[in-house]
Structure 1
Amino acid sequence: MNERRRSLLGMALAGAVEPLFAMPAASGTQAGRQALDAELAAIVNDPALQLASLSVLAIRAGQPVYEGAFGRRHIGNGALPDKPATLDTLYRIASISKMMTTLGLMRLVEAGRMELDADVSNYLGFRLRNPHFPDRPITLRTLLTHRSSLRDEAGYSWPLATSLKDVLVPGDPKSWSNRAGPGDWFTYCNLGWGVIGTAMERVTGERFDLLMGRLLLQPLGITAGYNPSLLPPAALEKLATLYRKRTVDTEIWNPDGPWIPQVDDYSGKPPAPPAGIATYVPGTNATPFSPTGGLRISARGMGVVMRMLMNGGVHENKRLFERATLERMFARQWTHDGTNGDSLGGFFNAWGLGNAQFPDRPGMRLVEDGGFEAVGHLGDAYGLRSVFAFDPARRNGVIVLAGGVSSDPERDKGRYSALARYEERILTALYRHAIVGNPAPT
């Protein structure tokens, strides 16, 4: 994961709000929209914890009912012009990328090219084993459910010139649990998705960023990608820089100081392709494309994905997934019971194949007072916090992309969940105004 408000008048400075869809009638239509606009703008501009930018989208009964953009996708700090966030602003969505990678993988599984319970060594071309449990194979299922026994302590991304085989065989001891073998214990692990992406490359012979374009993004008509150097100029112009009011790679915050770019600041020059890409052999090391957290996409683009999932794998009358494949992907695989994994303070309570699950129970809820049982994923990296959550049965969903914070979100603890309080406020506002259509004061 750890890849982990003034008035409506303030929106003129903070950015543009450009709602596209009609609000549901129960919300009071225009009055409901204005109330939600004002509430989200107040969250963005809260002096206690400001947000650099915010893009949101809500879907009710399978139809988009609200979208909004607030704040600034690029902050010039007086040296360059500010650029407002818009409805088409792309963000590096952090760990929600894992769920998108999983969708690409499930297309290969559906096609019979990969199997969830086969030894992943068969796809990598080398024997991948936890040295403490050498007789127990690691499978895609254990990787997708964070129970592979891999660990992130020795890192999870290396230059293209470095073979993943050389990193993992025999491997840094810190890359492996010495107490829990494959399938035994849940520990959130970014490295698993580097392994998955590399296996996908070797099976197909295609570079990961291009492969995900073919498998998922292009069929959905989405301008997005895991390699920002390949984004077309128009999309690159819309890419949000992620910010914190703290120096890069430190924990030193200065809420009264300037917004400091953390990643995707291309105001001076465009993004360079990963070093060595011209001679890279697919299936060697996909980690520079960050299957774990590197997808750049807009809230609107994520909404296209969400509606396809709500429609059982169909997009614009064309089937991309069999319904059974998606049911398999979002079926519950693991539930935290206090003895079978690390919930990271309540963030991880239940898991499917490459997706988090949010039971509508105290301490696990996404919205205040409950009512929204969901599946999806969270993201947290470089100041960004992101949410992709939907109820497949009712076909309700919310997408949140917050592009940076002015102070330590660990000091902004949520009231009813492991999320930050500002995330709770955004999610609850979207749910009450746009989905339920019966807002209550906060």
Structure 2
Amino acid sequence: MKHCLFILLLTGLLLGNATAQGPIENDLLKLMQQYQAIGLSVAVVKDNKIIYNKSFGYKNSNDKTIIQNTDIFRIASISKSFTATSLMQLVEAGKLSLDDEVSKLTGFKVNNPKYPDVPITLRMILSHTSSINDKNGYFSLDAINPGKNPNWAQCYNDYKPGEGYQYCNLNFNLAGSILEKFSGEQFDQYVKNHILNPLNLYGGYNVDSLDRNRLVPLYEFNDSTKIFEAAPAAYASPKAKLANYTRGYNTPVFSPTGGMKISALDLAKYMMMHMNYGSSNGVQIISEASSRTMQTKLSDKENYGLALWSTNQLIDGITMTGHTGSAYGLYSIMFFQPEQKFGFVAITNGCIPRYKKSTVALLYDAVNTLYNGMVK
């Protein structure tokens, strides 16, 4: 599916947002036009309350469907925090430890051959300090399993585990498989039963368990042709792969590294749980100690903790904690300030991917617009 950018944008903004009012919403619409965004959904938390939730533009640019606040997106790498949060629950229950060796948890060797005596721990894979990389891909654990792949050693970098940082999706697909093995539940069901349902959130990792009418299609910008192309693989059914599913090994089917589907509003509610160090509306998801562990950096290079990282480059002079996501043309951002009790979620299903301070420019500008207009 291909679309002329200018016509798509102009039509989407005019028809999809005719009722938008106020200078902030006008500024957001201008940003969408500037970055030729197809759609945008945002939520704002201030004083520990959600004060704003709005969606703009097209959900489906082909049939001109407009995004609703109840629609859900695949949020890409923000999903990693759901995986880490789930594992922290198992740590609290005494089922495993952050310092457990991953080899013992997975049942196959996960060990950098350049440092055979240095164990890779659960803490390392959750903080991207494991020395593991994505050179062999990350959609199957066969990539790193010596019993399945003769080129398994390519999955490891030259530096010592625990002493370097490289963002790696395979880390979190390994983590998801560990969650399955030690929880006794299928990955998607565990997250639903122990995070989403207690917080009364609609979403999940298994697309077949969700209302497909609420899924927001994603569009990748083709830099060569200068057009957006639909990315249906983002919501591909796992049904065929589940026919021969081995729990604790085939977990990448659900993409613990990037496969959560949720609305901006419900993601903001989830964000508030982390902002309040593990609890929200009287519901305790993880302990304060576990929450602070997730938010405490292990890597000075990226200020990365366990699936959450800190930055002072998003809003000048303020340190924010959260995560970003990008996949299939989608870009997402979830950042909060735990002491001052404010935060932002912004998700687009397609835009021109320019960057400001390592953040997609549309989301960077949208967050600053919302901060200056609603929080500051």
Report the TM-score, using the length of structure 1 for normalisation: 0.78
- Name the counterpart of 1:69: 55
Query: Which of 119, 132, 146 matches 2:128?
Result: 146
Closer, same or farther: CA 371–72 of 1 in aligned 2, 3 Å:
same
Distance in 2, Cα, partners of 1:265 & 1:192: 20
Distance in 2, Cα, partners of 1:427 & 1:329: 23
Give how far 1:313 is off. 2.3
- Name the counterpart of 1:342: none
Query: Which of 81, 105, 115 matches 2:87?
Result: 105
- Does the CA contact (< 8 Å) of 1:93 and 1:295 recur in 2? yes
Give how far 1:112 is off. 1.2
Give how far 1:330 is off. 0.9
User: Is 1:41 equivalent to 2:43 in the alignment?
Assistant: no
- Does the CA contact (< 8 Å) of 1:44 and 1:52 recur in 2? yes
SS at match of 1:292: coil
- Does the CA contact (< 8 Å) of 2:143 and 2:155 recur in 1? no
- Does the CA contact (< 8 Å) of 2:12 and 2:58 recur in 1? no
Distance in 2, Cα, partners of 1:17 & 1:171: 57
- Can you list the C-alpha shifts for 1:259-314, whole angstroms capped at 9, x where unaligned? 31023677xxxx53242313312112211111111111110110111122233322
Closer, same or farther: CA 16–260 of 1 in aligned 2, 3 Å:
farther
- Can you list the C-alpha shifts for 1:173-195, whole angstroms capped at 9, x where unaligned? 32111x21211210111100011
- Can you list the C-alpha shifts for 1:151-207, whole angstroms capped at 9, x where unaligned? 101100039xx6964577665332111x21211210111100011011111112222
- Name the counterpart of 1:430: 370
Distance in 1, Cα, partners of 2:85 & 2:18: 32
Query: Which of 332, 338, 348 matches 1:402?
Result: 348
- Name the counterpart of 1:128: 110
Give how far 1:350 is off. 0.9
Distance in 2, Cα, partners of 1:294 & 1:240: 14
Amino acid at match of 2:31: I
Distance in 2, Cα, partners of 1:71 & 1:168: 46
Query: Which of 387, 390, 411 matches 2:336?
Result: 390
Distance in 2, Cα, partners of 1:396 & 1:16: 29
- Does the CA contact (< 8 Å) of 2:218 and 2:232 recur in 1? yes
- Does the CA contact (< 8 Å) of 1:128 and 1:168 recur in 2? no
Give how far 1:8 is off. 11
Q: Percent same amino acid at aligned positions?
A: 31
- Can you list the C-alpha shifts for 1:342-376, whole angstroms capped at 9, x where unaligned? xxxxxxx3111111211x2xxxx113xx1431111
User: Is 1:366 equivalent to 2:314 in the alignment?
Assistant: yes
Distance in 2, Cα, partners of 1:204 & 1:135: 29
- Does the CA contact (< 8 Å) of 2:77 and 2:325 recur in 1? yes
Query: Which of 254, 258, 261 matches 2:225?
Result: 254
- Can you list the C-alpha shifts for 1:183-241, whole angstroms capped at 9, x where unaligned? 1210111100011011111112222111111221111111111111121x3xx211111
Distance in 1, Cα, partners of 2:124 & 2:355: 31
Query: Which of 150, 156, 159 matches 1:180?
Result: 159
In the alignment, structure 2 segments of 5+ residues that lack a partner are 1-5
- Does the CA contact (< 8 Å) of 1:53 and 1:404 recur in 2? yes
Distance in 2, Cα, partners of 1:59 & 1:17: 23
- Does the CA contact (< 8 Å) of 1:14 and 1:45 recur in 2? no
Distance in 1, Cα, partners of 2:128 & 2:143: 22
- Whose helix proportion is higher, 1 or 2? 2
Amino acid at match of 1:351: Y
In the alignment, structure 1 segments of 5+ residues that lack a partner are 19-32, 247-251, 337-348, 437-442
User: Is 1:240 equivalent to 2:226 in the alignment?
Assistant: no
Amino acid at match of 1:243: Y
Distance in 2, Cα, partners of 1:75 & 1:245: 13
Closer, same or farther: CA 192–186 of 1 in aligned 2, 3 Å:
same
In the comparison of the two structures, how many residue pairs are matched? 370
Give how far 1:403 is off. 1.0
- Whose strand proportion is higher, 1 or 2? 2
- Name the counterpart of 2:3: none
Query: Which of 255, 260, 263 matches 1:295?
Result: 260
- Does the CA contact (< 8 Å) of 2:130 and 2:162 recur in 1? yes
- Name the counterpart of 2:41: 55
- Name the counterpart of 1:191: 170
Distance in 1, Cα, partners of 2:100 & 2:254: 25
- Does the CA contact (< 8 Å) of 2:187 and 2:251 recur in 1? yes
SS at match of 1:291: coil
Amino acid at match of 1:107: Q
Greater alpha carbon shift after TM alignment, 273-282 vs 83-92: 273-282
Give how far 1:244 is off. 2.4
Map 1:207-286; keep pairs closer than 5 Å: 207-231=186-210, 233=211, 236-246=212-222, 252-255=223-226, 257=227, 259-263=228-232, 271-286=236-251
Distance in 2, Cα, partners of 1:64 & 1:8: 30
SS at match of 2:262: strand
Closer, same or farther: CA 312–183 of 1 in aligned 2, 3 Å:
closer
- Can you list the C-alpha shifts for 1:8-62, whole angstroms capped at 9, x where unaligned? 99734245778xxxxxxxxxxxxxx71111110111122xx30111001111111
Distance in 2, Cα, partners of 1:66 & 1:133: 50
Closer, same or farther: CA 226–350 of 1 in aligned 2, 3 Å:
same
Distance in 2, Cα, partners of 1:206 & 1:138: 24
- Does the CA contact (< 8 Å) of 1:17 and 1:70 recur in 2? no
Distance in 2, Cα, partners of 1:127 & 1:279: 23
Report the TM-score, using the length of structure 2 for normalisation: 0.91
- Does the CA contact (< 8 Å) of 2:278 and 2:285 recur in 1? yes
Distance in 1, Cα, partners of 2:194 & 2:150: 32
